[in-house]
């Protein structure tokens, strides 16, 4: 907290300085109410392109648009005071060239107030990361399983096993050297995640990686158990809100059908 009593927002440089310190807590958020809930406990709140699957019912993240990311980024920003907000760059918004990436990243930051953007890819994205960071746009990198590349990866498979470990290791080193302030490691073997964490100078944020990473991130809906049919191995359930919601909805429906709701205390009489 500042001398004026205002809560200080965590910056990308402050986040990077936490390398090797107390593990960094990260969650996704897509709405203002959820942002308010997670802000007090999280160091970083990610407006992930997973919003396409979580809130819009898309089969993958590939159909997510700039407009969707900006809309949800604006909503999340209204609910945050402390946590660093990072917004995902959607598929097709940065791969063409560093110049395309800059135009879209600048738009995201200007219209949402994000502290940084996140983009997927390792060595292939090094020039783009370098271009953005040289122009005052902090970048969070993402290597290992990159969901926007599922069509070339052959699905949501663990990356970096066997001979493929060298590729993921090189990707992590390259994005750090290019100027990323942190890197997400998704669905890589724990031993590889530990090696990357030990070797790169920026915080590693694991999702399906290792407890030895510098921090962890989960999709908040997975962590809260809002999905009753989808249970990824790497997502520990800290609640089962989906089942509680189904039970509550069923109870409401029964009360309506039996005319128990609204009860007298829920309606208004003629007297003032």
Binding residues for 3-methyl-2-oxobutanoate: 49-50, 88, 118
DSSP per-residue string spanning 175-241: HHHHT-SEEEEES--HHHHHHHHHH-SS-EEEESS-TTSSEEEE-HHHHTT--SS---TT---S--H
DSSP per-residue string spanning 95-136: SS-HHHHHHHHHHHHHHH--SEEE--BSGGGHHHHHHHHTTT
Which of 95, 177, 186, 199 is labelled catalytic?
186
Residue 240 catalytic?
no
Across 57-73, b (16+ Cβ under 10 Å) vs e yields ebebbbebeeebbbbbb
CA-to-CA distance for 161 and 167, rounded, in angstroms? 10
**Residue labelled with tokens 């993402």:** 142
Those residues with Cβ within 8 angstroms of residue 82's Cβ, 6 or more apart along the chain or in another chain: 7, 8, 9, 10, 39, 40
Which among 118, 209, 91, 229 has a CA at the least distance from the CA of 158?
209
CA-to-CA distance for 171 and 29, rounded, in angstroms? 27
CA-to-CA distance for 214 and 202, rounded, in angstroms? 9
Helix (H) or strand (E) holding 66: helix 66-77
- Report, as residue numbers or ranges, the catalytic residues: 186
């Amino acid at each position: 907290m500042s001398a004026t009593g205002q809560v200080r927002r965590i910056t990308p440089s402050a986040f990077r300085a936490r390398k090797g310190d107390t593990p960094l807590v990260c969650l996704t958020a897509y709405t203002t109410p959820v942002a308010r809930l997670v802000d007090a406990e999280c160091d970083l709140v990610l407006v992930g392109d997973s919003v396409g699957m979580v809130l819009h019912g898309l089969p993958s993240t590939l159909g997510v648009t700039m407009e969707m990311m900006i809309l949800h980024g604006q909503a999340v920003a209204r609910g945050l005071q402390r946590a660093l907000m990072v917004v995902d760059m959607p598929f097709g918004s940065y791969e063409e060239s560093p110049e395309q990436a800059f135009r879209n990243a600048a738009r995201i930051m200007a219209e949402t107030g994000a502290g940084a953007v996140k983009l997927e890819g390792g060595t292939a994205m090094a020039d783009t990361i370098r271009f953005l960071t040289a122009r005052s746009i902090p970048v969070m990198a993402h290597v290992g399983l990159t969901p926007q590349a599922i069509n070339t990866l052959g699905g949501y498979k663990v990356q970096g096993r066997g001979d493929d470990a060298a590729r993921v290791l090189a990707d992590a080193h390259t994005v750090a050297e290019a100027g990323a302030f942190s890197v997400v490691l998704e669905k890589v073997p724990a031993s590889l995640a530990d090696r990357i964490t030990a070797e790169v100078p920026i915080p590693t944020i694991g999702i399906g990686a290792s407890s030895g990473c510098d921090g962890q991130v989960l999709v908040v809906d997975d962590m809260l158990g809002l999905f009753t049919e989808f249970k990824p191995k790497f997502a520990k359930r800290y609640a089962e809100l989906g089942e509680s919601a189904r039970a509550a909805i069923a109870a409401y429906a029964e009360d309506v059908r039996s005319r128990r709701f609204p009860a007298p205390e829920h309606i208004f009489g003629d007297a003032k």
